Amino acid sequence: MKSYRVAIVGALGAVGQQMVKILERSSLAVSSLKPLDIAQNEGKQVSFRNKMWTVETSGKGKFLDIDIALFSAGADASAILAPIAVSEGAVVIDNSSQWRMTEGIPLVIPEVNPEALRAHKGLIANPNCSTIQMLVALKPLHDAFKIKRVVVSTYQAVSGSGAAAIRELREQTQMVLDGKEAVAKVYPHQIAFNALPQIDVFLENGYTKEEMKMVHETHKMLDPNILVSPTAVRIPVFRGHSESINLEFEKPFEIEQVFEIYQKAPGIQIVDDLEKLAYPMAIDAEDRYEVFVGRLRRDPSIANGLNLWVVSDNLLKGAALNTVQIAEKMVEMNLITR
C-alpha cells in the first residue's frame, strides 16, 4: 500500500488539532507527519500514531517533501502559503474561505460532488461549515425529487469563531450569573443567554457574508438553479451547528420515501422518534462524524414541501473531518501523484 507524507498547516489551532486526531483514526497510510504553525509555536510537539512530531514554522521550502498538505491557518495565510505548497509539489486541501469561490478550484464535499476532484490542479477548497452539513442532507433528496427552493436558518456554535469566542461565552456566562455586566469583545453584543442574527459582516444586499456563502457554495457544488434563502444566527452553544431547513421539490414525495433515502445515504444518521422525544441535538453531535437529521415532516403550506432539522459537529464534518475525507477520497480515486 502506498503511504503519504502529510503536512498540517495550523496544526496547533482548534481545527488543526482535530485534523491530527481524525487523521490518526483514518485509514490513510501516513509515512510522516509535518505539523506546521506560526513561528512562536516552533519546537512544540504533536503526538501522532505513537510518535512525537516537532512543529516547524510554515513557509517556503516546507512542502518539498510533502504529498498532502491540510490547511487550517485562515484565509490570509492560505493566500500566501497554498500557492507555495502547490508549486513545491504538494496537493493542498484548504479549510479557509480563501479559495472556495475561485474559478477552477474544486469545492468539495465527498458525499456531494466527489467527481469535481478530477479537475484539481493541486488545490482543493473545503466548504463553509454550515454549507457542508446542509448539502450532505440535501444531496440525496435533490437526486430523488429535485430541489427548487431552500429556506434555511442556522443556529451556530461559538466554536465556529475560534478559541477566543469559546472563552468569551464561558466568561460572559459567569459574569451574568454573578450579576455583573457581560463584556463583549469577540462579538458585537453579549452572546451569553442571547442569540445574534449576525455571522460575519453585512453586505450591500442586507445579508451577511456567512449567509451568502451558503447561497454561492450550494450553487457551485449542488445546483446553480436552486433558490436559497438563508438566515445565520450565532447562539450560546460551545460546539455543534443546528439548522432548520424548509425545502420545496419539483417532484411529489412521501415522507416514507424520505426516511428510506436517508437510511441509505452516506454520512447521515436519522434521529426521529417523537414518542421518545428523540431528535438531533448539538450536545449529542459533539465528537461524532455523522450529519444528524430529524423532525422530518411535510410542509402543508406549499406543494411538495418538507421541513427538517439538521445538526452536525462544526469542528468535525464542518471542518477537519471533511478535509481529511477529501484526502481519503483523492487517494481512493488515485488523484494524488508526485
Domain positions in the chain: 4-127+319-332, 131-314
Given 120, 189, 219, 241, which residue is catalytic? 241
Evaluate whether the domain defined by 131-314 bears CATH number 3.30.360.10. Answer: yes
What b/e string do you get for 89-107 counting C-beta neighbours within 10 Å, with b at 16 or more?
ebbbbbbbbbbbeeeebbb
Rounded to 5°, the CA angle 270-275-276 comes to 65
Interatomic CA distance for residues 256 and 200, integer angstroms: 38
What digits encode the pLDDT tens for the residues 99-150?
Answer: 999 999 999 999 999 999 999 999 999 999 999 999 999 999 999 999 999 9
Which fold does the domain 4-127+319-332 belong to in CATH?
A: Rossmann fold (3.40.50)
Interatomic CA distance for residues 319 and 19, integer angstroms: 9
Catalytic annotation on 142? no
Given 120, 129, 189, 216, which residue is catalytic? 129
51-54 vs 45-48, strand pairing mode: antiparallel
What digits encode the pLDDT tens for the residues 57-98?
Answer: 999 999 999 999 999 999 999 999 999 999 999 999 999 999
* Cβ-Cβ contacts under 8 Å for 136 (sequence gap 6 or more): 109, 111, 112, 267, 268, 291, 312, 317
What digits encode the pLDDT tens for the residues 302-318?
Answer: 999 999 999 999 999 99
Catalytic annotation on 189? no
Interatomic CA distance for residues 164 and 320, integer angstroms: 19
Interatomic CA distance for residues 294 and 16, integer angstroms: 30
What integer is the mean pLDDT of 228-247? 98
Predicted local confidence at residue 214, as pLDDT: 98
